Structure 1
Amino acid sequence: MSVRGLSELCWSVGVFSQKPNVGVVFKLNSWIFLEGHCKHVVPNIGLLRESGVPQPCISFLLTRGTRVLMVNPEKCGQLVSEVKEMGFNLEKSTSVNALCALCGKNKLVLNRSREVLKTWGWSEDDFPSAFRKYPHCMVVSEKKLMQIMDLLVNKMGWSSGMIAKYPVALGVSLERRLIPRCSVVKVLLFKGFINENLNLGSLLKPTEKQFLEIFVNRYLGQVPELLSVYQGKVDIQDV
């Protein structure tokens, strides 16, 4: 199939609302429209549209979640039904993330993640609640899950249930986000500048600029090394 033919095909099923999206798909994943795959992709796009999945979400699948579109249409229908039964609104982007998490090898990772988190005290109610909030939290490697839970539970003192309420903690970068922020909070807690009842959301929600303003800059007068702690240049023990 030619590039022009692929473009006409995409427009015919109403996938794109903006022309630039066509070029992105062709650049990244034009192979999914080869004859051997097209028999699944096009019917699945139609199924998703009939189910109420909006165009931007389908475009996302074409560029970042092709595994969902590659399954046979019957399996795709089952995935859509499963996501709906779990309480997802198919008009929201989180439903697309849920489809990706439940598809193929990700489903195996998801099941393994459940077993790991059980060992940290997650209840059966915690899993669906966390998954609905942030589906990606359940398709994280076992190694990363263990590292994050060890940091937040053993080193920071947050309960396992608290982490289930803020599952985005399981998906962010350990090195670039969690460790720097936890190190700063640990210092401030030790010195008594912030309340020990600080919840995990207060650590995760701020942008980097906001975090620096709230937890670093305002305390530099009392703790000059705090920025260096955040940057990983100074150990907590040396402050």
Structure 2
Amino acid sequence: MPSLLSISTERIQTAVACVEGLGVPRGSPMFRHALQAVAFLSQEKITAKVEHLKKAFRWSDAEVGIAVSKAPTLLTRTKESLQRRSEFLIYEVWLEPAYIAYRPAMLTYSLEGRLRPRYYAVKFLKENGLLKRDSSYYTVFKESEKAFKKMFIHPHKEAAPHLEKDYDAACKGEVPTNFRFT
């Protein structure tokens, strides 16, 4: 990582110790990402970010460690960004904090361009009895755009002809007040 070449050996050693202290082992594929995330932050800022994750997501120290070890870039997110995702996932989607900690990739997706539109589309399908199986929200959120449409939008073209148009509008920030049937 060329950007790390510009900092002192002592700072690198401190960053390595910090990353290991967060629960990301040196042999992990995420280690270099975690190192990049903390290398230019002071210990106070890292502590503040960890405390914010605990508060916003109601996570224990262990859950913060799990989440950061799987998605170290969480440490680079703004408090406001994390807070909005927390409020949406916990209080609107009703996901358990531990569920989110084990699937922190959800926190790296766009709230307005991916999470909200997909949630509303699936909620519409569930409320109208159109889903044959109950997919986890992690599956809903992690699928590529093409796979999501193939699994959740296209099979319902006849029953909900406006679903794709409403979903596309929602992805552009034009969230319709209701997904429509006619």
TM range (shorter): 0.7 to 0.9
Q: Distance in 1 between matches of 2:45 and 2:157?
A: 42
What is the aligned partner in structure 2 of residue 159 from structure 1? 96
What is the aligned partner in structure 1 of residue 178 from structure 2? 237
Q: Distance in 2 between matches of 1:136 and 1:116?
A: 14
Deviations for 1:40-77, whole angstroms, at most 9, x for unmatched residues? xxxxxxxxxxxxxxxxxxxxx22xxx1x3322112212
Distance 1:113 1:217, change over 3 A: farther
Taking the TM superposition and a 5 Å limit, the aligned residue runs for 1:1-239 are 61-62=1-2, 66=3, 68-84=4-20, 86-90=23-27, 92=29, 94-105=30-41, 109-119=45-55, 120-194=57-131, 198-231=135-168, 232=170, 233=174, 235-239=176-180
3-state SS of paired residue (1:237)? coil
Percent pairwise identity: 24
CA RMSD of aligned residues (A): 2.5
Q: Distance in 1 between matches of 2:156 and 2:44?
A: 45
Check the 8 A contact 2:106/2:141 in 1, yes or no. Answer: yes
Structure with more contact order per residue of length (Cα contacts < 8 Å, sep ≥ 6): 2
Q: Distance in 2 between matches of 1:70 and 1:205?
A: 35
Residue 90 of structure 1 and its aligned partner are, at CA, apart by 4.1
| Aligned AA (1:161) | A
Check the 8 A contact 1:153/1:160 in 2, yes or no. Answer: yes
Check the 8 A contact 2:157/2:163 in 1, yes or no. Answer: yes
Which ranges in structure 1 are unaligned for 5 or more consecutive residues?
Answer: 1-60
Number of aligned residue pairs: 174
Q: Distance in 2 between matches of 1:217 and 1:106?
A: 48
Which ranges in structure 2 are unaligned for 5 or more consecutive residues?
Answer: none
Greater C-alpha Rg: 1
